[in-house]
């Protein structure tokens, strides 16, 4: 069986696994004070060119989004997101459970448009009844988006400018940020993100770790007592080494970037194969997720040998599916798939 | 100055005020056990032909929506509402503060369409990832809607059928329900509403009371310990007589319906005048709220003598405004306004 | 039947009722902007000698406690209160529903001791694990307390000093504050309270109004957008005049203080009668609530003619009961009761 | 340096680490559907003699307590716990953040007494004002307790009987349950716990895993859609294999019990040494945590070579400290410590 279902099918990439093995017997401080967490934070500060950054490690994406958003919003504020944003669709209402509305705006290829955000903010502040409405208190974007698309640097700058003009933070969900920065078409680096966003996270779970996300407040701007917020959100591990060791390994010798690059290389090959074979793309996504329209017969046939993700029904006879590559995808996997397509 | 701004500009209608005066010296039990609350509940049961109904009195609309919705939903559930629903737009995120998402669907003249709701529910239950999504746990509608429009009995039956087929309650926000049932074009009575909905409230604040809303669970189907939920939501008055006496007066000698009828009669006259003078209507609303498009010059001129509500800008030179009549509107008010139009 | 059950048995005191009647037909702005609310706020600022004060009107005690406490605390903070505090015992968990822990400390006659609070704060900040604990973010006291007792000015100064030294606000629940300031033994005035507390409320419901509590932030120190917090807590009345008119009447011609004085005068007479007849007092409370120990036979006998409140069982044959006087208690009521005792 | 600080200083025990290495390359389903999670659940059902049990894996203790408690309580309910319970003291208010009060009762050696719980429940239901109070909706105990003490089977049966008579669930926090069941003095097995409790969790983090807790609903009695509750509490791992593989290894060949037994054996040796050397015990705890009173000089001296936990100041010259053993403690560690004591 071939696996192109998602980017969290395997365990840890080899560097991460080796680090866990190597450090297993060490006696380390708990609750975020272990030496590997401290070391990993320093490495992340360097890679982001953000020497003032505060970095916190959590274990998963929904947990991270919830803790960051609830931690930064006032009770009367909500978070602006694309209609297709992960927090709006696939987190089981975690944000609302924490008391805050997701203010959903239309998307373009999964992205929020700075002009749209600006108009929304202008309308809100111009409305005489705005005291009876949810205040927009943050902008949330994902990069890559849920459709595998990427913001350009100009788009990110525009969003950042709108946020700063309105004095609200810009939060970037980087669950797959590694794939984003390693995409050749992209002109956005981690340094850009640290400069333009007020908080973001570097995803581990989907980029080679067993679990773990690194939240970065790039300008020493974490909410007061954020550590206690992590605790009360159930997001603090006693053995914080588990995430600390993994991120320390990921940011040693460019492991994070090298494994992300592998996924991108394989995705490019696969995209080319699909194009040559005249498959129809559902959306033009340059990262490690490829959305393709298949006839239902073709889908049934493929599924005998390949695991891929159902995305949505297009019409009565066609289905949108997702092929995802990862740090673990090999050229042999792509060769095999090519034969089947 | 003439007032057509809203339906809560004056104090109480005369029957309510007189009842408050008459009963003021009586020594009554607190927290919902006063004799007038008990009497008013009985009258509401009769008027709704719902002898099993449980009735609770709260003080305002947002509070009522929040307490009812939070009281009936499970933590993993959200409430379906029209994009334009009051809970989605103008309650400052009260529903989300209680932990629940408003699942906003497109509206038609402020109304939810049963077919749209059915499709949404079908898609949700058909989605393999629905365990990662907010479960639809209730349908919320307002009648009259925020645009003054009304559901037909057939539309209400269709919504009720969809809810029952999916085993979720139908909640009707009746902040202006009196105006709804007294509109000649409407074929929906309180008895119909009690039969088709699982919970609804009869608004007092906007129909002649100083404050107060009566929540009705028509088939003895209130959530367990709903009284304690009211308390913990800060919605319980020590002097529950304040609302009990008012509702008892409103439902004695058809006061509620007679004062609502006055608003409708005056609105009909006004609508006719506006039509004759070729004003453009923004929406066709048969109740006590009339939405009209004015040129900005006309608006400025009118405002010298009349208080009306700004609704929204239509374009650079035109504005949508609302004229509202109420139990207190007189023929003289309409005469005066006619001269100014 | 004689009524000494509580201080919210009747409707409104006459000045309040007359004001409601007199203003009923006036057309007033909604949501807190009516002229009477504005006037009442100004009168409260004067009476408190707090020209910078921000004043907000809500409808009941639990609602007010919840909105104020949730509005002033950070998510990781709790509120210190006496074990017997109303928020800890009789508000159905409203504070916890808003996400915050009540940090209960031992009481002395219903009061918090400044030394006890100081020790608690010292221990918290000295604990190495305090990041895993609830941060103390506010001190809540009631004056009079739930036992009818009063803080001395010295005690209030000590609590205020501890709070300021620790940079946390002092919140005084004044549901019965009128009775407190009119007790001859008390050396604490509204001006003192405004000077020593960071937020407090002046209770209307239990001192002559139909409903309503006035929250005072004495030094222009309300949380940002507190009005929207009121809205999202379901605590905002469309017809804000209802509370505005009442408070305007209460603070005109010293009505509030005169009616409170009546309750105190009657309570003093009753206390004297009880002492002369050798009844045992459960606690020494100088305000309008008197806690007496009765044999169960005496209680059964009295209850044939008098409504009083059960407080708690003392032992198998004795019960603690509460006699409460109010603005409505007459000398004839006390005469009658004297005969029965 | 010697480490007796806690039981989460090292990484994973060898069987767990080996299982993670062995399975790392396997391609497994996410979100709880991986083969190892399924296998581990089956093993837990067998070991608990609870073939109907529903088992869920979460990552840490606070998260588990919060998700279980919030998932099982109604909004108007709180959870009864000992004053010293972990949820009451050291979880940063996580339970309150979810909207529920911890109803703290006095403890005896860290334990709740069934009689005390019964009296509390009786008083609550007997109070006429109980509709204004927090309903007791669950009993929470920890076993071993925060003081390392254990319930006897008789005590657990008594608590279970009180809960069942009052129709509320009994929840056992088993963060260190392995050490509890392997203590020779204990007559309580996992089978007993499954029979007497309504929900409990088997701790992994403190008993040899890198992270992970297994929640067991022994009689197919999980709240509906508990998986979605896990998701919305941010407690679901995409790579659920991480916890599944670990628990599968822990419950293969009795690894869990063998490593727990090691901690108990070492603790017994250490307790004997301390007794022989006339150290004073703060509390009589039979499990892997030993609480000892040291003079401050002795403490300073010891800390040069041993890491132990500060517990609390006893008086001006003495301190209570905790020595903890774990699956990783060796006889050589105890030998070394003996020399230093």
For residue B309, give both structure tokens: 């509500």
Contact B93 C232 (CB under 8 A): yes
Residues of B in contact with C306 (CB under 8 A): none
Contact D93 C102 (CB under 8 A): no
**Residue among D56, D8, D242 at smallest CA distance from A205:** D242
Which one of B24, B211, B231 has the shortest CB-CB distance to C237?
Answer: B211
Instruction: Count other C-beta atoms under 10 Å from residue B331's C-beta.
Output: 11
Residues ≥6 apart with Cβ < 8 Å to C37: C57, C240, C241, C243, C244, C247, C248
Residue with tokens 């640290």: A194
Instruction: Count other C-beta atoms under 10 Å from residue D158's C-beta.
Output: 18
Which one of B131, B135, B232 has the shortest CB-CB distance to D76?
Answer: B232
State the pLDDT confidence band at C313, using cuts at 50, 70 and 90. Answer: confident
Q: Is the peptide bond before A273 cis (omega within 30 degrees of 0)?
A: no
pLDDT in tens, C242-287: 999 999 999 999 999 999 999 999 999 999 999 999 999 999 999 9
Which one of D96, D134, D310 has the shortest CB-CB distance to C92?
Answer: D134
For testing contact with chain B, the best of A95, A132, A135, A308 (most B CBs within 10 A) = A132
Q: Which of A286-295, B184-193, C130-139, D119-128 has the lowest mean pLDDT?
A: D119-128
Contact D21 A24 (CB under 8 A): no
Q: What is the pLDDT of residue B126?
A: 87
Residues of C in contact with A70 (CB under 8 A): 75
**Residue among C190, C170, C168, C169 at smallest CA distance from C179:** C190
For testing contact with chain A, the best of D17, D28, D238 (most A CBs within 10 A) = D238
Dist CA B5 CA A328 (whole Å):
65
Residues of B in contact with A129 (CB under 8 A): 90
H helix runs in A93-208, sequence order: 94-97, 114-126, 153-166, 177-181, 190-196
Residues ≥6 apart with Cβ < 8 Å to B81: B87, B88, B102, B103, B104, B105, B112, B139, B140, B141
Rounded to the nearest angstrom, the minimum Cα separation between B91 and chain A is: 6
Residues of C in contact with B36 (CB under 8 A): none
Contact D75 B229 (CB under 8 A): yes
Residues of C in contact with B233 (CB under 8 A): 94, 97, 234
Contact C96 D99 (CB under 8 A): yes
Q: Looking at residues A167-178, what average pLDDT do you find?
A: 98
Residues of C in contact with D98 (CB under 8 A): 99
Q: What is the pLDDT of residue A313?
A: 87
Residue D191 to residues B93, D37, D45, D150, D164, Cα–Cα distance (Å): 47, 21, 10, 16, 18
Q: How many helices (H) and strands (E) does chain C have?
A: 14, 13
Residues of B in contact with C60 (CB under 8 A): 234, 236-238
Write the secondary structure of D221-243 as one string of H (helix), E (strand) and C (coil): CCCCCHHHHHHHCCCCCCCCHHH
CB D103 within 8 A of CB D88: no
- Residue D173 pairs in a beta bridge with D142, D201
Which residue of chain B is at minimal alpha-carbon distance from C4? B27
Dist CA A63 CA A246 (whole Å):
18
Q: Looking at residues D57-84, what average pLDDT do you find?
A: 98
Residues of C in contact with D97 (CB under 8 A): 75, 99
Residue D246 to residues B78, D89, D193, D263, Cα–Cα distance (Å): 35, 29, 22, 19
For residue D200, give both structure tokens: 């409990």
CB B248 within 8 A of CB B42: no
**Residue among D241, D326, D237, D239 at smallest CA distance from D59:** D237
**Residue among B231, B255, B199 at smallest CA distance from B32:** B231
A vs C, Cβ pairs < 8 A, gives: 39
Q: Looking at residues C301-325, what average pLDDT do you find?
A: 94
pLDDT in tens, D82-135: 999 999 999 999 999 999 999 999 999 999 999 999 999 999 998 888 999 999
Contacting B with CB below 8 Å, chain A residues are 75-76, 78, 89-93, 96-102, 104, 128-129, 131-134, 310
Kind plus residue range of the DSSP H or E element containing A46: helix A35-47
| Gyration radius from chain A CA atoms | 20
Contact A93 B100 (CB under 8 A): yes
Task: Tell me phi and psi for residue D16, to 5 degrees.
Answer: -70, -45
Residues of B in contact with C241 (CB under 8 A): 11
Instruction: Answer whether residue C45 shows pLDDT above 90.
Output: yes
Task: Tell me phi and psi for residue C268, to 5 degrees.
Answer: -65, -45
User: Could you tell me the strand order of the sheet in which B280-281 lies?
Assistant: B280-281, B289-295, B318-324, B309-313
For testing contact with chain A, the best of C32, C56, C76, C223 (most A CBs within 10 A) = C76
Classify the phi-psi angles of C328: left when phi > 0, otherwise alpha if psi is within -120 to 50, otherwise beta: alpha
CB B230 within 8 A of CB B67: yes
Tell me what percent of chain B is helix, strand and coil, each rounded to the nearest 5: 40, 20, 40
Q: What is the pLDDT of residue D199?
A: 98
For residue A250, give both structure tokens: 């990921």
**Residue among D216, D224, D241, D227 at smallest CA distance from D54:** D216
- Residue D54 pairs in a beta bridge with D217
State the pLDDT confidence band at A269, using cuts at 50, 70 and 90. Answer: very high
Contact A63 D234 (CB under 8 A): yes
For residue D155, give both structure tokens: 């005590």
**Residue among B81, B108, B107 at smallest CA distance from B94:** B81
For residue A187, give both structure tokens: 């002109």
Dist CA D237 CA D202 (whole Å):
18
Contact D224 B132 (CB under 8 A): no
Q: Is the dihedral of CA A184, A185, A191, A194 positive or negative?
A: negative
Q: What is the pLDDT of residue B312?
A: 87
- Residue B77 pairs in a beta bridge with B135
Dist CA A85 CA D236 (whole Å):
19
**Residue among D128, A262, B62, D132 at smallest CA distance from C313:** D128
CB C78 within 8 A of CB D93: yes
Q: Is the dihedral of CA C322, C328, C330, C333 positive or negative?
A: negative
CB D49 within 8 A of CB D200: no
Reported ipTM? 0.96
Q: What is the pLDDT of residue B319?
A: 94
Instruction: Answer whether residue C113 shows pLDDT above 90.
Output: yes
Instruction: Answer whether residue A128 shows pLDDT above 90.
Output: no
Which partners does chain B have (≥3 C-beta pairs < 8 Å)? A, C, D
State the pLDDT confidence band at C48, using cuts at 50, 70 and 90. Answer: very high
Q: How many helices (H) and strands (E) does chain D have?
A: 14, 13
Instruction: Answer whether residue C127 shows pLDDT above 90.
Output: no
Contact C233 B97 (CB under 8 A): yes
Dist CA C240 CA A71 (whole Å):
33
**Residue among D184, D137, D133, D193 at smallest CA distance from D160:** D193
Q: What is the pLDDT of residue A127?
A: 84
Rounded to the nearest angstrom, the minimum Cα separation between A231 and chain B is: 20
The three-state secondary structure class of C324 is: strand
Contact B134 A76 (CB under 8 A): no
Q: What is the pLDDT of residue C29?
A: 95
Residues of B in contact with A93 (CB under 8 A): 76, 78, 99-101, 133-134
B vs C, Cβ pairs < 8 A, gives: 141
The three-state secondary structure class of B151 is: coil
pLDDT in tens, A30-88: 999 999 999 999 999 999 999 999 999 999 999 999 999 999 999 999 999 999 999 99
Output the tens digit of pLDDT for each of chain B's 341 residues: 899 999 999 999 999 999 999 999 999 999 999 999 999 999 999 999 999 999 999 999 999 999 999 999 999 999 999 999 999 999 999 999 999 999 999 999 999 999 999 999 999 998 888 999 999 999 999 999 999 999 999 999 999 999 999 999 999 999 999 999 999 999 999 999 999 999 999 999 999 999 999 999 999 999 999 999 999 999 999 999 999 999 999 999 999 999 999 999 999 999 999 999 999 999 999 999 999 999 999 999 999 999 999 998 899 999 999 999 999 999 999 999 999 98
How would you classify the pairing of strands D170-174 and D199-203?
Answer: parallel
Rounded to the nearest angstrom, the minimum Cα separation between D311 and chain B is: 37
| Gyration radius from chain C CA atoms | 20
Instruction: Answer whether residue C129 shows pLDDT above 90.
Output: no
Contact A90 B129 (CB under 8 A): yes
pLDDT in tens, D242-288: 999 999 999 999 999 999 999 999 999 999 999 999 999 999 999 99
Instruction: Answer whether residue D308 shows pLDDT above 90.
Output: yes
């Amino acid at each position: 069986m071939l696996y192109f279902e998602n980017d969290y099918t395997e365990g840890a990439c080899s560097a991460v696994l080796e680090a866990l093995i190597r450090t297993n017997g060490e006696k380390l401080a708990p609750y975020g004070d272990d030496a590997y967490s401290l070391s990993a934070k320093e490495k992340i500060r360097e890679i982001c060119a953000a020497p003032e950054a505060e970095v916190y490690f959590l274990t998963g994406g929904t947990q991270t989004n919830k803790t960051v958003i609830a931690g930064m919003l006032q009770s009367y504020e909500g978070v602006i997101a694309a209609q297709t944003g992960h927090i709006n669709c696939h987190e089981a209402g975690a944000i609302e459970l924490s008391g805050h509305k997701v203010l959903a705006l239309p998307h373009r290829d999964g992205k929020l448009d700075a002009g749209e955000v600006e108009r929304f903010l202008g309308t809100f502040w111009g409305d005489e009844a705005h005291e009876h409405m949810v205040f927009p208190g943050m902008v949330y974007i994902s990069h890559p988006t849920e459709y595998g698309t990427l913001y350009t640097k100009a788009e990110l700058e525009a969003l950042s400018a709108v946020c700063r003009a309105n004095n609200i933070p810009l939060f970037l969900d980087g669950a797959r940020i590694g794939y984003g920065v390693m995409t050749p078409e992209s002109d956005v680096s981690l340094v850009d993100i640290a400069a333009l966003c007020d908080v973001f996270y570097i995803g581990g779970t989907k980029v080679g770790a067993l679990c773990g996300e690194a939240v970065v407040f790039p300008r020493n701007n974490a909410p007061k007592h954020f550590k206690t917020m992590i605790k009360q959100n159930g997001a603090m591990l006693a053995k914080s080494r588990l995430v600390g060791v993994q991120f320390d390994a990921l940011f040693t010798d460019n492991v994070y970037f090298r494994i992300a690059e592998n996924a991108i290389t394989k995705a490019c090959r696969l995209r080319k194969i699909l194009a040559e074979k005249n498959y129809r793309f559902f959306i033009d996504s340059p990262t490690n997720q490829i959305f393709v329209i298949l006839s239902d017969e073709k889908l049934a046939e493929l599924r005998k040998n390949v695991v891929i993700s159902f995305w949505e029904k297009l019409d009565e006879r066609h289905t949108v599916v997702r092929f995802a590559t990862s740090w673990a995808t090999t050229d042999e996997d792509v060769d095999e798939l090519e034969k089947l397509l």
